[in-house]
Amino acid sequence: MRRSMTAELLEIDELRRLRRDHRLGGAITFLPSTDSTNTRARDLARSGAAEGTVVIAEEQSAGRGRLGRSWSSPPGLNLYLSVILRPSVALEVVPQLTLVAGVAAALTAREWVADAGIKWPNDIVVRGKKTGGILTEMEAAEGQVAFVVVGIGLNLNIRPEQFPPELREHAGALSWFTGTKEPIARHRFADRLLSQLEQAYETFVRSGFGALRDTWNELSLLTGRSVRIDSSGQISTGTVIGLDADGALLLRDESGSEKRVVAADVTVLDGYR
């Protein structure tokens, strides 16, 4: 059999068949090329698309990441998808959906690569390489959640030289670590990801993020690590203790006191375990 890591089209008919009876992905909008699946999903949600509707693209011309960054999205290699959710939860817990999706993405990644994990708040990392990320966006009306778009990007089959030069040092793809030369079948990965998200999301809506916290901590690559925190230019260092009940990162700083971090960029100072 010929082994190649060249671009193959996403098997969308097969993915639709696999998702037919599911709450997430029962309806899939497939776009060969788009600006950002999050933007397309937002527009669909504004026009009344049902919870569980998924937008998936072969490539994005304006893929978006956290903190206003762009998300490199070449065709045929990776997964770019967004899911519309309409949870009946308080506005302030919506950011926790990023952590919920992180649990789903890391558990799925582990089905292919056993030591994949989460770098708080939203990175999927393998052996120090960022292989995926999550961008959660919300719209509210009259103090209530109208909808949430959970966007997930996972580098599956991209080769090192296909990354833009500035990403090469820190970015990776799951297929580098599977131990085979076979590309990861993107429709199978997407199916498992949506099933994991379905399960984690149901737990979150029924019981709150607390019910997923132990799983999240088990998947976290940061616990016990020495880190540098950049909160909008305010720099601090400390050792990660774990995750607080609401999803904040808990640190012990040099003076021994506990600190909560709500939004920041984290750099690991002593390497991943």
Residue with tokens 């296909």: 162
Query: Looking up tokens 């065709």, which residue turns up?
Result: 75
Question: CA nearest 175: which of 153, 154, 152, 156?
Answer: 156
Output the smallest distance, CB 35 to ligand BTN, in A: 8
CB of residue 151 vs ligand BTN: minimum separation in angstroms?
3
Q: Which is nearer to ligand BTN, 26 or 65 (CB)?
A: 65
| Least gap, CB of 255 to ligand BTN (angstroms) | 31
Q: Is the separation of the CB atoms in 160 and 170 below 8 Å?
A: no
- Using CB atoms, what's the residue nearest to ligand BTN? 133
Q: Which is nearer to ligand BTN, 21 or 169 (CB)?
A: 169
The CB-of-196 to ligand BTN minimum distance in angstroms stands at: 16
Q: Which is nearer to ligand BTN, 4 or 61 (CB)?
A: 61
| Structural tokens at position 262 | 């709500």
Choice between 151 and 172, CB closer to ligand BTN? 151
For residue 67, how many other CB atoms are within 10 A of its CB? 9
Shortest separation between residue 172's beta carbon and ligand BTN, angstroms: 13
Is the distance from CB of 261 to CB of 252 less than 8 angstroms? no
Rounded (10°) CA dihedral 37, 10, 186, 206: 50
Assign residue 52 a region: left if phi > 0, alpha if psi is -120 to 50, beta otherwise?
A: left
Min dist CB 193 to ligand BTN, Å, is 12
Decide whether 166 or 239 has the Cβ nearer to ligand BTN: 166
Distance CA 46, CA 61 (A): 22
144-154 and 129-141 as β-strands: parallel, antiparallel, unpaired? Answer: antiparallel
Residue numbers at the binding site for ligand BTN (CB under 6 A): 36-38, 60, 63-66, 69, 71, 80-82, 122-123, 133-135, 151-153
Number of other residues whose CB lies within 10 A of the CB of residue 262: 12
Residue with Cβ nearer ligand BTN (38 or 223): 38
